[in-house]
Amino acid sequence: MKLLIFILSSILVFNSCNKDNVSINVPIKNLENKLIVNFQLLDSTNLSKTIFNKSEEVLFELYLGNQLYQDLSYSYTGFPFIFEIIHNDSIYATSIDYEAMELIERTDSLKSGNEKYFRWFAPNTFGRIQNSAELEFIPGLYKARIQRQSRLGYLNEIPIEIKSIGFEIIE
């Protein structure tokens, strides 16, 4: 009788360990199934605005949030994005002024559910400061824009639109 109980319990244990019978609870990500793109200008307190004092640094910020159910990849040469400031129909400053960059094609990814930030404290770069060629904003109207450095669109060839932002510098 003990042998029969042992055999039956052994069969029960072995059957319960079968992989087909084991359920694994994997949480499903609650995603919006879209790519979130947000370009904004921030002051030193991280407040989004478009009117700045001429002595303020302006933080250019591009946010990419992958709420799609797929990982996204992209390739670029140098930097994935170049921030630009336009004043009087001319380029006033960029995020790569006085900066050296390798002209090597790089590949990166933005995994599903993750986010990336690209930032620049305008109007100067580390290279510009090192070369004592710092810029100061002068009062007037400006436009902030972003140039993409990627090929064939961005993020698995999903085109993204990043609109320019008009801003003003006051005394």
Tokens of 135: 């810029």
pLDDT in tens, 33-55: 888 999 999 999 999 999 999 98
- Residue 17 within any structural domain of the chain: no
In a domain? residue 136: yes
Whether residue 37 lies inside any domain: the answer is: yes
Taking residues 134-148, report their average pLDDT. Answer: 93
Q: How far apart are CA 42 and CA 47, in angstroms?
A: 5
Contacts of 75 (CB under 8 A, 6+ apart): 105, 106, 107, 108, 150, 151
Question: Which residue range is the domain that position 93 belongs to?
Answer: 30-170
Q: Is residue 72 part of a domain?
A: yes
Q: What is the rounded average pLDDT for all residues in the chain?
A: 83
Neighbouring C-beta atoms of residue 135, cutoff 10 Å: 14
Residue 19 counted as domain residue = no
**Rounded average pLDDT over 130-137:** 94
Gap between the Cα atoms of 119 and 141, Å rounded: 21
Residue 129: both structure tokens together? 């400061």
Q: How many domains is the chain partitioned into structurally?
A: 1
CATH number at residue 123: 2.60.40.2360
CA–CA dist 160, 62 (Å, integer): 12
pTM > 0.85: yes or no: no
Q: Is residue 160 part of a domain?
A: yes
Give the separation between CA 49 and CA 168, rounded to whole angstroms: 10
Amino acid sitting at position 141: L
pLDDT band for position 159 (cuts 50, 70, 90): confident
**pLDDT tens, 69-97?**
989 888 888 888 899 999 999 999 999 99
- Residue 8 scores a pLDDT above 70: no
